[in-house]
Amino acid sequence: MIDVDWNEAEEIVLFSLIFLLAGVAFVYSRNYPQNDALMPMLASGAIILSILLLLIRGIVMGFLGDVGEGAFSLGNVRGEGFNLGDSEEDRITELSRDAMVPRVLMIASYPVLGFLFGLLWATPVFVFAYTVWTKQSKLYIASFTAIAYGIIYIFDYLLNLPIRTGILFGGG
Amino acid sequence: MSFAQFIDAIAVILTPTALFYIFLGLVIGIFVGGLPGIGPSIAMVLTLPLTLFVDDIHGIIFLIGIYNGGLYGSSIAAILLNTPGAAGSAATTFDGYALSRQGKSLSALSASAVGSAVGGIIASVLIILAVPFLVPIILAFASVEYFLIAFLGLLMIALISKGNLLKGVIGGAAGLLVASVGVSAYGTSRFTLGYVELYDGFSFIAVLIGLFAITEMVYLSGEQGAISKERIKIEGERWAGVRAVLANPMLTFKSSVIGMFVGSVPGAGASVANFVAYGEAMRSSRSDVEFGKGALEGVIAPESSNNASCSGSIVPTIAFGIPGSGGTAVLLGGLLMHGIRPGPDLFGEQLFMTYSFFISFFVGSIFILIIGLTLITRLNFITKIDTDLIIPNIVVLGTIGAYSLRTNWIDIATIFILGFIGYFFVKHRISIIAFVLGAVLGPIAELNLLRALQLGEGSPLVFVSSIPSIILTTSIVVILVYPIAKLLLTIRMGEDQPAT
């Protein structure tokens, strides 16, 4: 049986997609007037060049990245999160894929539900489902669902946002 | 004129309303900063839409309060859990956690509170004193320098990204590409695919919420339960930290000055400042101080520098519109959202506003001292908060916050799509902060690049046409050439080594 390194495979897919998008953006930019084409072409060109250099490093040289890492790395930059040493890497491997998938699906389905039925109703449903799934106490489930509904209701009340009905009921 | 504006600023800040917003911001910042992985940027971006309900200055000083408090709060998790709440407290873990393990967490926490407060006070006073001297420098900057400083900021972020420079460049360039979506300054519709909703481009705030808040929540969703698995006792001597700061005035002052200067370099910020200050503290310490094994000096140095860097990092943000970190990127969003345009005006007619930002830092630092010394024995509850309770609420706040700005579903789609893209970027070590800064700096860089090229009639010599531009161009060249030179040197040294 072939042993697949999913992390590496995922990285290849990610960089291929970025490369493809940058390539499309580069070609597309050529249709714009010179002034408008300059920045997108520079940005997409930089992406294409960087990915090609990463590829060359990976296949042939193997040392360009090591030098970059040794010379500059002070830690990881994530948002403002700048963790020490390899803690980021450790954290990635600690992630529980089984635990993550249903939670991520719930997060992803929240805007979809909001768009279809209205954020005002999707919000308590999402928070309720999330807290039930993560086995919180009944008190926490009830109070956090109420807090979330309260937050969304205040926004609705103060800003009169069109969030009471979703696209299915003529809103959105 | 400058002194009159300073007095106006004091009058603005020393009102109950302004003090309330500074205090509220600090409390939120300390609380959220103490949650590992959340950090001040997320708290700032989530509360950003809420500042629409208050006036300009109060909204901004509230955000500054969160930023300042968040950097102090992040030391709590660094000391008690060995996991910094934000980048700026990473070096605090070296000695802070060692002190906790020796049963001296209270001493470390008090040293952090006093160090943070004194660092913030020193930096804000120095910047307030320096403002009259900064004005002519800032006014001397034109399109060429604006472009170069934006480019330098992006390059610096790419440089300090873990992984390698190339991935940092990919992150920054991806941000620039995202920023180019929409109708350009010259009226051309770019990458809108015919959707009218995209003509205004992606909402800057939605991009920030997606890349900071949603990315982090997707990440946290893979970590089950409470942040700290065991009960953390806060023990030790409360006043030992205070005495340590008083006994090391030069260390505190030097670390604060380092923080202020490093923070003011676009792209550097607290994340670099705390390591530089820690390194300098080690280099110049007495021989009997054992860094890394529980030295209070190892807490004071990074903590004074990170809060000092807050003040420093605001200078390029308000002077040039160039944020140096995630926190200042959100602050820039706040300024633009409130119609405050960064640039020479904030050092001219609106100078009182600039002064009021730094005075709010000063006042906030005093609040940190009071909160830190009185409440530190009760702050360990932060480390027990279950992430599963935080995630849905932050997702809800982020979503409604993004939607409320333009009532455009594109913004909600933006936060979730970029949030998930951000997750994969983080996982594969492509710098998110470079992506954010690329998106933020894109329009500034583009506009000023085109103006500079027009001014120079297409000649690249325009980039070395003044002393500031020569300095900036030289810095950029050095940064770009350095890795190649280092590589060649490594190869050469490898060849010179005799085979064993």
Task: Please indicate whether, in this complex, the C-beta atoms of B177 and A47 are within 8 angstroms of each other.
Answer: yes
Sign of CA dihedral B36, B39, B45, B51: positive
> What is the average per-residue pLDDT within A109-129?
94
- Residue B148 identity: L
**Residue B190 DSSP class:** E
> b or e along B424-441 (b: 16 or more beta carbons within 10 Å of the residue's beta carbon)?
bbbbbbbbbbbbbbbbbb
Q: How far apart are CA B292 and CA B96, in angstroms?
A: 9
**Number of Cβ atoms within 10 Å of the Cβ of A102:** 14
Q: What is the pLDDT of residue B113?
A: 93
CB-based contact B338:B290 (threshold 8 Å): no
Residues 6+ apart with CB under 8 A from B325: A80, B41, B87, B268, B269, B270, B271, B313, B433
Q: How far apart are CA B253 and CA B118, in angstroms?
A: 8
Minimal C-alpha gap between A67 and chain B (Å): 6
**Residue B460 DSSP class:** G
Candidate from A75-89, A118-132, B344-358 with smallest mean pLDDT: A75-89
**Look-up: residue for tokens 């120079």?**
B456
**Residue A58 DSSP class:** I
**Number of Cβ atoms within 10 Å of the Cβ of B471:** 14
Q: Which residues 267-296 on chain B approach chain A with CB closer than 8 angstroms?
A: 269-272, 275
Output the CA–CA distances (angstroms, integers) from residue B107 to B68, B300, B431, in the order listed.
21, 11, 35
Minimal C-alpha gap between A2 and chain B (Å): 23
Closest CA to B431 of A53, A92, A80: A80
Report yes or no: B151 at the A interface, CB cutoff 8 Å: no
- Residue B438 identity: G
Measured between its terminal Cα atoms, the distance across chain A in Å is 50
Task: Please indicate whether, in this complex, the C-beta atoms of B424 and A14 are within 8 angstroms of each other.
Answer: yes
With 50 as the cut, is the pLDDT of residue A80 above it?
no
Task: Please indicate whether, in this complex, the C-beta atoms of A80 and B39 are within 8 angstroms of each other.
Answer: yes
Minimal C-alpha gap between A60 and chain B (Å): 15
pLDDT tens per residue across span B134-144 = 888 888 888 88
pTM over 0.95, yes/no:
no
Report yes or no: B417 at the A interface, CB cutoff 8 Å: no
Provide the CB-side half-sphere exposure for B288 (13 A, CA): 0
Q: How far apart are CA B221 and CA B331, in angstroms?
A: 27
pLDDT tens per residue across span B456-466 = 888 888 888 88
Q: How far apart are CA B312 and CA B162, in angstroms?
A: 24
Output the CA–CA distances (angstroms, integers) from residue B192 to A27, B201, B380, B417, in the order listed.
15, 8, 49, 16
Task: Please indicate whether, in this complex, the C-beta atoms of B170 and A50 are within 8 angstroms of each other.
Answer: yes
Q: How far apart are CA B156 and CA B165, in angstroms?
A: 10
What's phi and psi for B182, nearest 5 deg?
115, -175
Q: How far apart are CA A131 and CA A134, in angstroms?
A: 5
pLDDT tens per residue across span B167-186 = 888 998 999 999 999 988 88
Minimal C-alpha gap between B410 and chain A (Å): 11
pLDDT tens per residue across span B472-490 = 899 888 888 877 777 777 7
Residues 6+ apart with CB under 8 A from B217: A107, B391, B394, B395, B398, B419
Task: Please indicate whether, in this complex, the C-beta atoms of A127 and B412 are within 8 angstroms of each other.
Answer: no
What's phi and psi for B455, nearest 5 deg?
-60, -40
> What is the average per-residue pLDDT within B305-324?
87
Candidate from B62-71, B106-115, B343-352 with smallest mean pLDDT: B343-352
**Number of Cβ atoms within 10 Å of the Cβ of A151:** 17
Q: How far apart are CA B334 and CA B343, in angstroms?
A: 15
Assigned token pair, B193: 């695919």
Q: Which of B215, B392, B409 sits opposite A115 (nearest CB)?
A: B409
- Residue B398 identity: G
Q: How far apart are CA B343 and CA B315, in angstroms?
A: 10
Q: In residues, how long is chain A?
A: 172
Q: How far apart are CA B299 and CA B248, in angstroms?
A: 12
- Whole-number average pLDDT of chain B: 86
> What is the average per-residue pLDDT within B396-425?
90
**Residue B36 DSSP class:** T
Q: Is B408 left (phi over 0), alpha (psi -120 to 50) or beta?
A: beta
Q: What is the pLDDT of residue A71?
A: 35
Position A135 confidence tier, pLDDT thresholds 50, 70, 90: confident
Q: Which of A29, A127, A158 sits opposite B392 (nearest CB)?
A: A127
Closest CA to B299 of B282, B311, B320: B282
Comparing alpha-carbon positions, the chain A residue that sits nearest to B458 is A35
DSSP 3-state assignment of B183? strand
Task: Please indicate whether, in this complex, the C-beta atoms of A148 and B392 are within 8 angstroms of each other.
Answer: yes
Name every chain B residue with its beta carbon within 8 A of the beta carbon of A113: none
Q: How far apart are CA A38 and CA A17, in angstroms?
A: 22
Q: What is the pLDDT of residue A79?
A: 39
Position B226 confidence tier, pLDDT thresholds 50, 70, 90: low
Report yes or no: B140 at the A interface, CB cutoff 8 Å: no
| Strand ranges (E), B202-294 | none
Report yes or no: B211 at the A interface, CB cutoff 8 Å: yes
Q: How far apart are CA A69 and CA A85, in angstroms?
A: 11
Q: How far apart are CA B500 and CA B496, in angstroms?
A: 12
Bridge partner residues of B386 (DSSP):
B226
Candidate from B113-122, B204-213, B233-242, B347-356 with smallest mean pLDDT: B233-242
DSSP secondary structure letters along B323-360: --SHHHHHHHHHHHHTT---SGGGGTTTHHHHHHHHHH
- Residue B404 identity: S
With 50 as the cut, is the pLDDT of residue B231 above it?
yes
> What is the average per-residue pLDDT within A144-150?
92
Q: How far apart are CA B478 and CA B482, in angstroms?
A: 6
Test the A interface: residue of B143, B147, B165, B449 with most A CBs within 10 Å? B165
Test the B interface: residue of A5, A76, A82 with most B CBs within 10 Å? A82
Instruction: Give the distance, in angstroms, between the CA of residue B474 and the centroid of all CA atoms in the same chain.
Output: 25
Name every chain A residue with its beta carbon within 8 A of the beta carbon of B386: 134, 136
Candidate from B149-158, B342-351, B407-416 with smallest mean pLDDT: B149-158
Position B446 confidence tier, pLDDT thresholds 50, 70, 90: confident
